[in-house]
């Protein structure tokens, strides 16, 4: 008997049998027949969240594909007709960065020197680098999806549908251009939307600065605090809370300071020797009593620049946003680099000083010309210390936003940017979200619900190249017009080619006649956030409203979608935002939110960390069924 056991293999050939099953499905068109057989049956609608074809699949994608296969497969077995149109997300910075790397160029200047037309051609080619790998991956794990007729976000049909939607948003007065403080990536040279910023935070340790600002009318100093020393050369004011109590004190270091009473001990006690007093209070006052009190410019270059503007600067302002939780109770104001600063700047009509350029480097107006802002921090602190203006530079740890595409530290920076007024439809967003069955419910009411409660206007425009061009044409007379279709563009233009490609640089050459003054209108230079692409897929995948009207209406909203929890502020949000703006209803009925796949230490698997399991090796070793069951 033992000899018999020795001859029986424990290998049941799962991998080979799965391959044979997959071949049978493909040879006989089983998936296609499962849809065709139910022609005329009730629809169960599923939306495929589009992966980017120029990135490789990882083991976490097995999880999403298992869930996205199981539910539609079950509904098909229950007699429903379930279309499963594949999709490819093809625009955006990841593609541009990949092409830059391939061509050996770096940044916008070098892209434009290389040539926009050949660069765009490389981008279009690059997005398909791993298409075959993705299709093979999906087939290997048994994921049924229509790869023969996918939606592709860079096609004219898809873009035209987006233009239709953007025109509707523009005509409702919800698309506007504003000069605002925006999160900005200096490496990519473009602003980011708030939902993009939410995906890129990292805990960092840095030095803040407590700085002595010399009063102009007495031998005393304001002690002000900032977490961004690089903004100090652009300082034009200080800010106190008008209702809180401030003190004038003689400190143990010999200086006379103004600062918040609540923070005296925290800031000044380290100055005192054992048994000695750290400070003597000379006077108390409310913050409002310090309003307009002048001080000397911290940097000579700032004072010279401000004189040229003809505006008043370098005095104390008041605003309730100043808190007593940390710092000194006095903050420095640089209106070009923070929303609160900008608000105070408008209130007091402060001069606009922006000593940082679009590359995130200090300008020639400063002693730090050409230095990246984060690298300027220690140099600025050293100079202030040598000038006797630095009180301290305490270390602190905080979550800082990095560009989710290139990992560069973001800066908050004043720019002209196109926005969608999501704040105007906040109540509609919340109402529509309340119709959705979220699994788990805590995501819909908590993470996603909280995001909607604190919604900000969508920073839509990108100062880049490979993306859906913003469909706004401008005239020198001030007229702006949103184009909603290729037909409309041709009807208003005398130079639009018959086979126009709706990408830069081709679309940039097309002019239209101004309906107001008869002058020449040109398209604005920006492209749009690629999340608008993915959020438009319910209608753009069918080229709605230009065709397939009945198909779209029968497939909207989705009965079911599923992605990872990181899409809460990504695809889940862009779908809800655009659907609310255009149709005023939720784009999905049921959302199954998946967690991240972790390694044995409980860390999220990431190729950059080197802790990710290769999905193809695992599938070849154990078979898809075992891994599907595992997930």
Catalytic residue numbers, as ranges: 50, 89, 531, 567, 571, 604, 607
8 class by beta-carbon count within 10 Å (0-12 exposed, 13-18 middle, 19+ buried) = exposed
User: Taking phi first (over 0 means left), then psi (-120 to 50 degrees means alpha), and beta for anything else, what does residue 103 get?
Assistant: alpha
Query: Which pairing describes strands 237-240 and 330-333: parallel, antiparallel, or unpaired?
Result: antiparallel
Q: Which residues of 41-51 are buried (b: 16+ CB within 10 A; e: fewer)?
A: eeebbbbbbbb
DSSP 291-339: TT-BB--SSHHHHHHHHHHT---SEEEE-TT--SSSTTSEEEE-TTS-H
On the 0-12 / 13-18 / 19+ scale of CB atoms within 10 A, 630 is exposed
Q: What is the largest CA-CA distance in the chain?
A: 105
Closest by Cα among 322, 306, 298 to 229: 298
- Say if residues 314 and 239 touch (Cβ distance below 8 Å): no
Angle at 25 between CA 22 and CA 31, to 5 degrees: 125
Helix axis angle, 14-28 to 615-622, nearest 10°: 100
Between CA 447 and CA 216 the distance in angstroms is 49
- Other beta carbons within 10 Å of 203: 8
């Amino acid at each position: 008997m033992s000899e018999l056991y020795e001859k029986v293999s424990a290998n049941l050939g799962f991998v080979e049998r799965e391959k044979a099953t997959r071949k049978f499905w493909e040879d006989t068109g089983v998936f296609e027949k499962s849809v065709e057989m139910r022609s005329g049956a009730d629809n169960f609608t599923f939306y495929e969240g589009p992966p980017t074809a120029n990135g490789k699949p990882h083991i976490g994608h097995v999880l999403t594909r298992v869930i996205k296969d199981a539910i539609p497969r079950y509904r098909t077995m229950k007699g429903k007709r379930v279309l499963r149109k594949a999709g490819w997300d093809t625009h955006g910075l990841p593609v541009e960065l990949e092409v830059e790397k391939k061509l050996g160029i770096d940044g916008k200047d070098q892209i434009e020197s290389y040539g926009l037309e050949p660069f765009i051609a490389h981008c279009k080619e690059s997005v398909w680098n791993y298409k075959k790998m993705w299709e093979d991956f999906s087939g290997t794990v048994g994921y049924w999806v229509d790869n023969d007729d996918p939606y592709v976000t860079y096609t004219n049909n898809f873009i035209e549908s987006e233009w239709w939607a953007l025109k509707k948003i523009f005509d409702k007065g919800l698309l506007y251009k504003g000069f605002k403080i925006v999160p900005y990536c200096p490496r990519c040279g473009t602003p980011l939307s708030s939902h993009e910023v939410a995906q890129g935070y990292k805990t960092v340790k840095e030095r803040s600065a407590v700085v002595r600002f010399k009063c102009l009318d007495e031998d005393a100093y304001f002690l002000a605090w900032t977490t961004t020393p690089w903004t100090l050369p652009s300082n034009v004011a200080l800010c106190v809370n008008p209702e809180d109590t401030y003190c004038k004190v003689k400190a143990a270091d010999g200086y006379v300071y103004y600062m918040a009473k609540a923070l005296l001990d925290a800031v000044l006690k380290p100055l005192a020797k054992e048994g000695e007093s750290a400070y003597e209070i000379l006077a108390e006052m409310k913050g409002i009593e310090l309003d307009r009190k002048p001080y000397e410019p911290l940097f000579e270059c700032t004072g010279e620049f401000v004189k040229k503007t003809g505006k008043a600067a370098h005095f104390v302002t008041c605003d309730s946003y100043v808190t007593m939780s940390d710092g000194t109770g006095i903050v420095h104001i640089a209106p070009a680099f923070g929303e609160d600063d900008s608000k105070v700047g408008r209130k007091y009509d402060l001069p606009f000083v922006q000593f940082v350029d679009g590359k995130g480097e200090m300008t020639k107006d400063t002693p730090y010309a050409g230095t990246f802002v984060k690298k300027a921090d220690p140099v600025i602190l050293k100079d202030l210390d040598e000038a006797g203006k630095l009180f301290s530079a305490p270390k602190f740890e905080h979550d800082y936003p990095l560009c989710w595409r290139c990992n560069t530290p973001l800066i908050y920076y004043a720019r002209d940017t196109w926005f969608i007024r999501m704040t105007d439809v906040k109540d509609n967003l919340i109402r529509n979200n309340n119709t959705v069955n979220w699994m788990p419910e805590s995501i819909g009411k908590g993470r996603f619900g909280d995001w909607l409660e604190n919604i900000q206007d969508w920073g839509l425009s990108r100062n880049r190249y490979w993306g859906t061009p913003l469909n706004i044409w401008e005239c020198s007379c001030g007229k702006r017009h949103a184009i909603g279709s290729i037909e409309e563009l041709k009807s208003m233009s005398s130079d639009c080619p018959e086979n126009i490609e709706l990408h830069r640089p081709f679309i940039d050459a097309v002019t239209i006649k101004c309906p107001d003054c008869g002058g020449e209108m040109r398209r604005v230079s920006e492209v749009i956030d690629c999340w608008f692409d993915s959020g438009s897929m319910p209608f753009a995948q069918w080229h709605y409203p230009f065709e397939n009207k009945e198909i779209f209406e029968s497939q909207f909203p989705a009965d079911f979608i599923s992605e990872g929890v990181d899409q809460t502020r990504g695809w889940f949000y862009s779908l809800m935002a655009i659907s609310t703006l255009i149709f005023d209803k939720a784009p999905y009925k049921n959302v199954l939110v998946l967690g991240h796949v972790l390694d044995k230490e409980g860390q999220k698997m990431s190729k950059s960390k080197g802790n990710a399991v290769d999905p193809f090796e695992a599938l070849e070793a154990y078979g898809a069924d075992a891994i599907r069951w595992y997930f």
